[in-house]
Amino acid sequence: MIEVLRDQPRYALDTEFHRERTYYPKVALVQLAWDGGLAMIDPLAVDLAPFAEILDGPALAVLHASDQDLEVLDLACGTIPGRLLDTQVAAGFLGMATPSLAALHERELGLRLPKADRLTDWLRRPLDPSQLEYAASDVAHLLQVVDQLEDRLVANGRWQWALDECEHLRQRQRGARNPDDAWRRIKEVRSLRGTARSIARAVAAWREQRAMALDLPVRFVLSDMAIVGIAQRPPTSTRQLKEIRGLDDRHVKDDIARQLLDVVAGAKDRTYPADDAPPPELDRALRPAVTLVSAWISQLARDLEIDTALLATRADLEALLRGDEGARLTVGWRAEIVGEPIRKLVSGEAALAFAGQGDLVLEERTHRPLDTGP
């Protein structure tokens, strides 16, 4: 396969994997297609590491909803494609909101992909014909889909936008998570303060490290509920540990109980640097602007036929209004289309109005208030 792909300018790629019972995804199949060919590689039979040569090469890798596939490739090959086109991202610049692969094939090519059993076991061998047919269909026509998308994106001047967004996706940090950031993924912990938050952060980091070492999902090591319970009622003995909701016999065995109690004791007097704090809350005076601008963003996305999530998310709006350095709406095409108009709206230079039939329009502000009577 490496010999075949060395001279190809582009290739379609997909993976099948499982991670329900492991911390790291286990790759079970790799599907590849190029102009005039298709192959499926069994990673249970061959080492995928040498495929890094193709990933690092000059060819364009075409994937759909690629984020998890990139994580799988990074683990298996030690690298990810040097050039990436994600068809889900590209379709977003044509007004499709995170389309499925099947929806994209049907819209662009009029093809219906075979359906798969959501719970199919990709690690079993041999794979049956229906599994192979489904897996092959993920890449068989993907380069044709790209050709369709590229033609339309070039015509409306958005092809480079799509490439830039795919590059941003490609550069996103992946691999093993930083245990010190594990607490951020627990909603209840983010609302804790003081010692309770310090303990929750320390226990969440311990859970992440243990999950990595054992290659288990974090929920198999300790539940979110247990972490919050430990933080709110810090135990000093195994007996107190047993009383916390969300813990069971696995967590109060001598070795695990001792580790947890040591983590709790060590966290009580620990302080974290200010830059570890979550982003500051948006000024209360600007909070109504988020709701107002969100309505306009939705209208603008429909008018421009761009997926709203690609145009601006709520987090993007808040980052812009807070004045965060490097906010996504302050750079590139988004700054012109979204960032600058929002700045004018918030500064009072522009006004948002209904334009009839429920449509919204951003206009220059007249500064002439309506006479509403006595």
CA 36, CA 48: separation in Å to the nearest integer?
23
Q: Does domain 284-364 have CATH number 1.10.150.80?
A: yes
Strand order through the sheet with 84-86: 37-41, 26-34, 10-18, 60-63, 84-86
pLDDT at 203: 96
- Asked if residue 367 lies in contact with residue 307, where contact means CB atoms within 8 angstroms, the answer is no
For 226-271, how does the pLDDT look when each residue is reduced to its tens digit (9 = 90+)? 999 999 999 999 899 989 988 877 767 778 899 999 999 999 877 7
| Residues of the chain below pLDDT 50 | none
Q: Where are the domains of the chain?
A: 2-170, 179-276, 284-364
User: 38: helix, coil or strand?
Assistant: strand
Q: Does domain 2-170 have CATH number 3.40.640.10?
A: no
pLDDT at 252: 75
CA 6, CA 54: separation in Å to the nearest integer?
7
Q: b/e for 85-110, b at 16 or more Cβ within 10 A?
A: bbbbbbbbbbbbeebebbebbeebee
pLDDT at 294: 92
Domain 179-276, CATH among 3.30.300.30, 1.10.3720.10, 2.60.40.1180, 1.10.150.80? 1.10.150.80
Structure tokens at 203: 């226990």
Same fold: 2-170 with 284-364: no
CA 222, CA 218: separation in Å to the nearest integer?
6
- Asked if residue 202 lies in contact with residue 266, where contact means CB atoms within 8 angstroms, the answer is yes
Output Rg (C-alpha) for the chain, integer angstroms: 25
